[in-house]
Structure 1
Amino acid sequence: MSENTSGGFIRRMFANDIATDLAEGRVLELAEIYALDAVSDDERAMIDAYIKDAPEGPEFLQRVHEARETLAVSFAPEEAPPAGLFDNIMERISNDAASQPPAVAASPDVAGPAVDDLAAARAKREERTRAGGARRWIVGAAAAAVIALGGIGVGAYVSTQNDPVNQVLQAQDVQKKSAPVPGGGTATISASSAKDSFVVLMDGVAPAPEGKVYQLWTLPKDGSAPVPQGTMDAETLSKPAVVKGLSSASSVAITVEPAGGSSAPTTDPVLVVGLSA
């Protein structure tokens, strides 16, 4: 199952604009820069409109509250940053962008409308890239400022919120089911419709026989073939694993398979737990 808790999740990067971040589900990652007013009025309006009906809305507002509370208790009046700090940062970013070498002019021998259009497109693309780079830099700086001001507590809070396991376990709509595993121990399934994911945690379960592993499967609602979701050997058996696609699955099943896992179940399930989404 280790691939579900590590290789199955890719660190999400910010896009060049807020609209794309929202469309790709990164609203929670925008909470700290929202709290620090590092967004424009238009961007703030887009975020406000998005969280109004989004399931992540309450969690987003909680993160904003935590960030602002951290700033409030961390800055004493005499320790307030210089009033022009943010403007100075933006000026340096603009100067760095302006110092980029200009595009090489087209040779007169090949000048023409097509070349002009190509040069204009290239210039526009480079401008977007520089703007996106600046925005990502500001996002990173804003988040770092919140973490630095709050010390370990806020740092741990942000880290916890970005962890896939904790995102499911701390979701407001999380539902848990536990079932006994033959041979001893229990399997607990924690499911969140808002995150479209569930977490599987085995407790007190003995490892599979030598040369075998437990393998996790989701059983699709449409009755199609079970979908493999990773294996659990002796080392990973006690670690939580996250599985995406809750909305399309009716149940989760566990079988005993040869080491390395199988593309389709080769034994009857030792456990089947129904999912509700």
Structure 2
Amino acid sequence: MTTTDLHRLTGAYALHALPDDESTAFERHLTGCEPCAEETAELSATAARLGLAVASTPPAALRAQVLRRITGVRQEAPGRRPQNRTAPARLHSRTLSRWALAACLAAATALGGTAVWQHQRAEDARAQARHATQASDEIAAVLAAPDARTRAAGLAGGATGTVVVSRDRDRAVFVVSGMARPPGGKVYQLWFDDGGTMRSAGLMNPARTDQAVLLRGTVDGSSGMGITVEPDGGSPHPTSAPLALMTFPS
């Protein structure tokens, strides 16, 4: 499987449609590919929201049917693993991993500081992937919350924005489509509207026109949210007029 193939698996992975070996390979790929990590997070959040739209309450008799049928299912003996055609490949992968570890140790001895720098880069990539996965899970939890409420609004330049609020989880997600990129050296910053006082809720990715953003911090009684253009890195307080103000759904 090539790197190009892996870049194309974001949708299948978000829908849990990959076989185990491809899912494992793609998860390794995510540790070093931030665009794929972000796209996977957004697709997972969208899939969760779509699932919520068609969710239904299971019939009361379903539990009894499952408990009745499970008595006829043969249980696998403890400690046994199902055999499949990928077992040799997994053994080969473990062997290669041992050789790769030995090679890394040798390189660290020979190259000293260079190897340490490379190791730190790898750790940074893993941390970014873990952060993206955590954000994806939190976004999906808000979108799929039973009490989730949404409000949509048109934004400048034909963009559309939707805010999703879960009061039970005390969190909010902003989903935007068609957002123009900010001017050079600028970034879009999100704000909670606490009775007229704006509280920073994080930054949007300036490189993406479509994205789902988990607002940083709790809703905590805020009446709505706003968007401003701020210097790169954000501001402690708004320095420009809001591009949009959206009232949270009740």
TM-score, scaled relative to structure 2: 0.47
Q: Which has the higher contact order (CA 8 A, sep 6+)?
A: 1
